């Protein structure tokens, strides 16, 4: 090739603007922000009344002045994996994050039941919309998102479907009680459910295998995650299942959701129910979803 050709190609390369690419991992997942001395990040612990009991709760308060989008993050059954790494990542991205223990779980006063947990999730959402809470934590009520893992995914979907002001819903290997009920028709399904409940009862007050099973068998419409997601409608929704967890449930309810909202994003990853080897990827997916809801914080 002639020297003039080489020089011309080099000049063209220099003249072509670089294509901006998002980092492989969102910076909020891997990098602490600069401290804000005037409005530092902090944690507040408190109790939210609910029914005959209360929820022990923690607010991860985002740094910075002005209003903040806010995430309600719900754990599963019984909540051994609390996903607090996700709370920290979301806060680094500029979000307040409310976490809690349902009535009757992990020392929260009251009796645990699936019905109570659903009421608790909705009461937590109402708490975020109260004027005093909004003022104290500078909450942007137009940007409240609900996320939930496993049983918390069902509770998140029920709360979000019932509150049209929720701006987004993020489900992590969500549990569908209706599919569990269907599995009880087989000996294998019943044995598996008994083992699941037996292992999860110790941190729960007032619950038993019989009481919990009667709840989900007694009201098929209420405990149907696919129905809840259809009712949620066309708002932003991401579902991430785990193929070594209950990803088959995620696929089923994801298809239900897509029937009402074609923009539903469904993924099933090769990991276990706790996303034990996908924590960074999960935090990245959540933060990017939140950025889509509140794009000024990207």
The domain that holds 265 is classified in CATH as 3.40.50.1820
Residue 158 lies in a domain: yes
Is 28 inside a domain boundary?
A: no
CB environment 38-59: b (16+ within 10 A), e (fewer) = eeebeeeeeebebbebbbbbbb
Task: List pLDDT tens digits, range 124-156.
Answer: 999 999 999 999 999 999 999 999 999 999 999
Strand order, beta sheet including 237-244: 42-50, 53-61, 96-101, 68-74, 139-149, 168-172, 237-244, 265-272
How many Cβ atoms are within 10 Å of 258's Cβ, its own excluded?
17
Looking at the structure of the chain, the number of domains it has is 1
The answer to whether the beta carbons of residues 281 and 86 sit under 8 Å apart is no
Report the distance separating Cα 55 and Cα 192, nearest Å: 29
Question: Domain span at residue 157?
Answer: 41-177+221-293
CB 288 within 8 A of CB 265: no
Any domain includes 150: yes
**pLDDT score recorded for residue 3:** 44
Q: How does pLDDT run across 219-278, given as a tens digit for each residue?
A: 888 999 999 999 999 999 999 999 999 999 999 999 999 999 999 999 999 999 999 999
Q: What is the mean pLDDT of the chain?
A: 93
Residue 243 lies in a domain: yes
Q: Tell whether 227 is covered by a domain.
A: yes
In a domain? residue 78: yes
């Amino acid at each position: 090739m002639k020297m003039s050709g080489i020089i011309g190609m080099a000049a063209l390369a220099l003249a072509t603007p670089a294509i901006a690419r998002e980092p492989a991992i969102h910076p909020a997942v891997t990098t602490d922000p600069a401290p804000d001395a005037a409005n530092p990040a902090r944690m507040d612990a408190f109790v939210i009344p609910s029914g005959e009991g209360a929820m022990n709760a923690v607010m991860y308060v985002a740094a910075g002045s002005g209003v903040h989008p806010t995430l309600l993050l719900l754990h599963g059954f019984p909540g051994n994996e609390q996903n607090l790494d996700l709370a920290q990542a979301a806060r680094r991205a500029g979000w307040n994050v409310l976490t809690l223990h349902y009535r009757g779980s992990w020392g929260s006063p009251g009796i645990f039941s699936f019905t109570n947990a659903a009421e608790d999730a909705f009461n937590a959402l109402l708490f975020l919309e109260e004027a005093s809470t909004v003022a104290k934590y500078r909450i942007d009520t137009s940007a409240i998102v609900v996320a939930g893992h496993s049983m918390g995914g069902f509770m998140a979907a029920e709360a979000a479907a019932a509150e049209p002001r929720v701006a987004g819903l993020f489900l992590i290997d969500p549990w569908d009680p209706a599919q569990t009920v269907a599995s009880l028709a087989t000996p294998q399904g019943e044995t598996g459910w008994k083992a699941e409940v037996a292992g999860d009862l110790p941190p729960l007050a007032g619950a038993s295998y019989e009481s919990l099973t009667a709840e989900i068998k007694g009201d098929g419409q209420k405990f149907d995650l696919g129905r809840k997601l259809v009712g949620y409608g066309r708002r932003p929704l991401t579902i991430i299942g785990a193929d070594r967890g209950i990803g088959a449930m995620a696929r089923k309810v994801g298809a239900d959701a897509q029937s009402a909202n074609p923009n539903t994003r469904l993924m099933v990853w090769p990991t276990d129910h706790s996303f034990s080897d996908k924590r960074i990827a999960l935090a990245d997916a959540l933060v990017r979803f939140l950025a889509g809801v509140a794009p000024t914080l990207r």
